[in-house]
Structure 1
C-alpha cells in the first residue's frame, strides 16, 4: 500500500520494535503460568461436555467440577490433563463424562503419575486432545469450503450488525432478517455481566439481560441458522461472539468447535473495563489466541473502548500503542495479519472544529500502519445525544470515513444509540445508511489523497510520534506498571488486583498440556 501520510519508515519500525520489547516480559509471564480457565478449556478440547445438574447451587459444568477437584487434590502446576488421563486409565472409565460423574460422587482421588504411569497418561491425553484439534481443523476446512461454494460478500467494508435480545430463538429471527437486509457479519452480544462468571452456562438460553448468554448450544443454533440464510442470500454470513472475561480460553475453544468466524479478543479490555486480574488476562489471552490461530478465527480487538472513557483527541496515541501491542501478542501466539481485526473508533466530539478531518487522520493512520489487517471500525457512541436525526447524520459521516480509509469491517451505527435497544426498523434504516455511502463513495479512496503537508498528514504523523514516545516509557517502566498507572482508558489496574487472580498458577517444570504442544508445533 502506497503511503499517503508521509510516515517515516524509521519511526514505524521503531514503534514495532518498542512494542515487541514492551510485550516480551508479559509473554514470558504468560508462558510461565496457567489458569483454571486454560485448564478447563483444555478439558473441553479433550471432549469433556455437560454439567452436574444435581448441585444445590445450580448446574456446575463438569470442567469446573473436575478442575476444582484436581486443584484441591494435587494442584494444577503440571496441568489438569495429566492427572485426569491417569485417573481415566487407573479407573478404567469409558469416557470423560463418566470420570466427571465419579468425581462429583467423591470416588476419584487425583494424583500426578510418574514413570510408566506418566507415559501412559501423556499418551492418552494427547489422543483425547488430538480429537478436539482435528475438529477445529475440520471446521476451518468447512468454512473455507462454504465460502468457495457460496461466496464472500462482494463489497468491503463488510457490514457488521449486533443482535442482543436475550433469547437465542429471537436472536435467530433478528440475525437472519439482518442478513437478508444486507448485514455480512452478525455479532451476538453477551448477557450483561457474563464476562465476570467463572463458568460457561450450559444449553440454549432465553433469559439474558441486554444480551444473550454465550453457550456452546447457542453458538450451534446461531451458526446453523446463518448457514441456511447464507445459502439463501448467496454470501457467507459470519458469526461473532466474545472470547473475553474470566472464561476467555473456553469461549475460544467453544467457538472453534462450533465454527464461529470471529471473536472479540483484546489483550487489555478485560483488565481495564472488567477489572479482571492482569496476569490472568494475559495468560488466558495467549491460549485463546492460539486456539483462534488454529481454528482460523478472526479476532477483533477493543481499542474503541478507550475512547469512551478518555478523550479521543488527546489520547489517540494510546489506541495506536494498544494496536501495536495487540499485533505483537497476536503474532507471538501464531495469528497472522489476515486474522488480526484491530479496533478503533469514530468517537471525537463532533462539536470540535475539524472533527471529521481528525477522525479521518486517525483512521488512515491505522490503515497505513496495518495494511494487511482486517481493521474493525466502530461507530460513534459517546457523543450520541438522543437526537436521532443528528445521530443518523453522524453515522453517515462515520460510514464515509470508513470507506475513505478502506476499513475492512464496519460496525453499523444506530441512530437510537443512547435512547433504546434498536428495533428491527432501526437496524433497517442504519443498513440503508451504510449501503448508500458504500455504493455512492465506495471507490472514492482512489481519488482521495491528503495533502502531503496538510492537516490530515501532519495529525497522523503527530499521533504516531506520540505513540512512539509512550512506548518508550512503557519499555522502561514495564507494561504491567503502565496499566496500573492508568495509561490506557484512564483506568488504573494494578497487577496484583482484579477478579480471578486466585485462578493463576505458576507452572512446574513437568507441566503438560498437549493442546499447547499441538498449537505451537502445528501437528495433530
Structure 2
C-alpha cells in the first residue's frame, strides 16, 4: 500500500521549508547562549557541582558573562585563565572564591588559549566518538531488535533506582526502546542537576549519573535478551546543548529534540531555542543519536484535522534544521500522532491519510508515531480498542518507532498491568497484521489519497506564507499549536549573546566540517 505523491509538490514543499529555515540558521550561527558555552566546558572535562548543587560550569560561564561578556565565547577567557589556575576544576573553585578576573586575550595569548581549548574540546569529542563505536560494536555482538517498528515504552518513577528494574522488566516484556521521562519542570531549570536522583515529579531528572546508571542496566538486560535495548531521554529546554553533550558521553541512543517544542509549550525564547537546538543537533549527529521531534504536541492544543498541515510543515522544518546540523535520514524520528476525535466519521481513514503522507514525504526516516491521549476518557475498553487501531495504522504505514499507548493514558498514572496489556495489544496487531500493507492497494482517487494531497497542499500554502513573513513572525502569531511566542520575549533570552568577530567555540570548530560534509 503506497501513497503516490507528486514529486514536484514534495520538492516544492522542501524548497519552501529550506527558504523558511535558512534565516533561522543564520540567526543561530550568529549567536551563542549560556548553555552552549556550558556544554563546551562539560565536553572539555568540567563536571561536578558545589555543595549546594550548582554546577561548576554554571559558576564559570556566569562569571565570564558578568566580567567580559559571552560574545567572545568562554574558551578564550577560560583557557587564558588556566595558565594561572591549573585545571578546570581548580579554576572553578577559584571562581567561586572570587579569585579570578577573566579577560579576553589578544595576540599570542589568544592563540595559545585557542590552541589549548581546542585540545581539551577534542578530548570530549573523542569520548563521544568512542561511545558511538561502542554502541556499534555492542549491536554487532549482541544483536539488534529483530523487526520494525521498534516498540517504545516510557518508564519514569522519579527515583532512578526504581526506574532501573522497571526498565529492565519493560525490555523483558518486549520494549526495544526505553524512554525515561524527565521530572516536570526540568526543561525550565537553567542548570543540569548533579548525581543520581531519587525524587522527581511525574518523571526522573536527567543527569549524567542517571544516564550512566540506566545505560549500564540496559546493557545488562540487552546481553540477557540477545538484542540491544535503546535508551531515550530529553534534549530540550534551557539546557538542551549540555544534555545533548552528556547523552553523547554516556551513550544514549535517542533524544527528544524538537526545533520548536520549547518555544511553543515552555515559552522559551525563540532565538535561545534555535541557537541551542543547532549546537545540540551537531552533537547528536556526531554521537549517532536518533532525534525524536514533537509535532504530536500541536494536536493536543489544536484540532488534529484542521491543524494537520501544521504538523507536516513542522516535519519539513525539522528535517531541514536536522540535516543542516549534520543529521542523516536514519536519525530523523519525525513526530506525528493519532489524535483525531474517534467520534468523527472516517476518523481512522483520516489518521491513515496523515500517517501515509508522513511516510511518503520521508521514506527513509524512522517516523515516531504517538498514541492517542487527547480523547482518552477513562473508558478502558474504548481506550484499548483505540490503541489497537493506532497500532494498526502504525503497521500499515511503516512507522519506525511505535510509542505504546495505554488505555488509562492521560487519565491516571498507568499501572504496570496496563503496560503489560498495552504490550500484548501491540504484539498482537504487529504479528497479525504487520505485513498487511503488502496485500492492499490505494486507489489514486480514494478518500485517503485525496486527504493526504489536500494536507500537503495546505502545508505548501502555509510554507509560502511563512516564507513571506518569516518563521519567527509565524511563531509569534500562533501558527503552531495556537501558541503565540514573540521573538523578543520568553525564558532564557538573557542567556543569549551575539557573537563577536573573534568568537571562539572549539567544539563547534571540530564539528562544523563534519556537519558540512554530511549536509553535502
How far 1:92 sits from its partner (Å)? 4.5
**Contact residue 5 and residue 461 of structure 1 kept, 8 A:** no
Q: Secondary structure at the match of 1:450?
A: coil
Aligned to 2:130: 138
- Residue 147 of structure 1 is matched in structure 2 by 139
Q: How does 1:132-211 map to 2 (within 5 A)?
A: 132-211=124-203
Query: How big is the shift at 1:173?
Result: 1.0
- Give the gaps of 5 or more residues in structure 1: none
SS at match of 1:463: helix
> Where does residue 80 of structure 1 map in the other structure?
74
Aligned pair partner of 2:39 in 27, 38, 41: 41
Query: Is 1:324 equivalent to 2:324 in the alignment?
Result: no
The CA deviation string for residues 351-403 of structure 1, in whole angstroms up to 9 with x for no partner, is 00000000000001000100011100000000000111100000000000001
Q: How does 1:411-490 map to 2 (within 5 A)?
A: 411-490=403-482
Q: Which residue of 2 aligns with 1:348?
A: 340
Match of 2:113 in 1: 121
Match of 1:106 in 2: 98
CA contact (8 A) 1:347 1:379 kept: yes
- CA drift at 1:521: 1.7
Local SS of the residue matching 1:283 = helix
Q: What SS does the corresponding residue of 1:160 show, helix, strand or coil? A: strand
**CA-based RMSD:** 0.9
1:52 counterpart SS class: coil
Worse-superposed segment, 413-422 or 357-366: 413-422
> The residue matched to 2:336 in structure 1 has which SS?
strand
Task: State the distance in 1 between where 2:481 and 2:498 align.
Answer: 29
Of 9, 21, 35 in structure 2, the residue corresponding to residue 11 of structure 1 is 9
Cα drift, residue 11 of structure 1: 0.8
User: What CA distance in whole angstroms lies between the structure 1 residues aligned with 2:440 and 2:253?
Assistant: 32
Describe the SS at the equivalent of 1:51.
coil
- Measured in 2, the distance between the counterparts of 1:355 and 1:368 equals 20
Question: Could you give the per-residue CA deviations for residues 35-60 of structure 1, whole angstroms, max 9, x where no partner exists?
Answer: 0000001110110000111xxxx321
Secondary structure of the structure 1 residue equivalent to 2:497: strand
Residues 396 and 437 in structure 2, CA contact (< 8 A), matched pair in contact too: yes
Q: Which residue of 1 aligns with 2:518?
A: none
Compute the displacement of 1:452 (Å): 1.3
- Does residue 301 of structure 1 match 2:293? yes
Count matched residues: 515
Normalising by the residue count of structure 1, what TM-score does the alignment of the two structures yield?
0.97
Q: Give the deviation of 1:419 after TM superposition.
A: 2.7
Deviations 1:392-442 (A, max 9, x none): 000000000001000000000011113321222111110000000111111
Give runs of ≥4 in structure 1 deviating > 6 Å. none
Cα distance between partner residues in 2 of 1:195 and 1:449: 44
CA deviation after TM superposition for structure 1 residue 499, in Å: 0.4
Structure 1 residue aligned with 2:349: 357
Q: What is the aligned partner in structure 1 of residue 368 from structure 2? A: 376
CA distance in 1 between partners of 2:440 and 2:69 (Å) = 60
Partner of residue 29, structure 1: 27
TM-score calculated relative to the size of structure 2: 0.98
Query: After superposition, what is the alpha-carbon deviation per residue over 1:142-166, rounded to whole angstroms, capped at 9, x for unaligned?
Result: 0000011111111110000001100
What's the counterpart of residue 55 of structure 2?
61
What is the SS of the residue equivalent to 2:203? coil
Q: Is the 8 A contact 2:154 2:178 kept in 1?
A: yes
Structure 1 distance, partners of 2:323, 2:371, is: 27
Match of 1:71 in 2: 65
The match for 1:287 is 279
- The match for 2:228 among 231, 236, 256 is 236
Looking at structure 1, the residues matched to 323 and 53 of structure 2 have their Cα atoms a distance apart, in angstroms, of 37
Given that 1:86 and 1:121 are in contact with CA atoms closer than 8 Å, whether structure 2 keeps it comes out as: yes
Contact 2:76 2:504 in 1 (8 A): yes
3-state SS of the aligned residue for 1:410?
strand
Deviation digits for residues 330-371 of structure 1 (CA, Å, limit 9, x no counterpart) = 011011111111000000000000000000000010001000
Distance of 2:85 and 2:41 partners within structure 1? 18
Residue 448 of structure 1, CA deviation = 1.9
